[in-house]
Amino acid sequence: MLYRRAIGREVWHYHPACSQWPRTNYQEYVTKPRAEPVCQECVARRQNQSLPISASAPRFGNKRPVLAALWSRLQAAIRRKWR
């Protein structure tokens, strides 16, 4: 695991997808730094990532509103046809 900390900051990051992930002016450690605060967003992202693919599936969740909208439009079309 790679840890990064922006120069002048206290919090360590270890998830490259973190919105605070330092890209310039950072220190890098390969082992976990002791007694230093770790970014909560990184922790949350790591926990999400460790879920099985079928259980996390955020992409599928995002598509649901679209499917629901299509379904209600289809139902409306069917109702109009049978009136």
- What are 10's two structure tokens? 């206290």
- What are 53's two structure tokens? 């693919």
Q: Whole-number minimum distance, CB 36 to Zn ion, in Å? A: 13
Per CB under 5 A, contacts with Zn ion among 5-64 are: 13, 18, 20, 39, 41-42
Tokens 């490259």 correspond to 16
Looking from the CA of 83 toward its CB, the CA atoms found within 13 Å total: 7
Q: Whole-number minimum distance, CB 33 to Zn ion, in Å? A: 13
Q: Whole-number minimum distance, CB 27 to Zn ion, in Å? A: 14
Which residues sit at the interface with Zn ion, rule CB under 5 A? 13, 18, 20, 39, 41-42
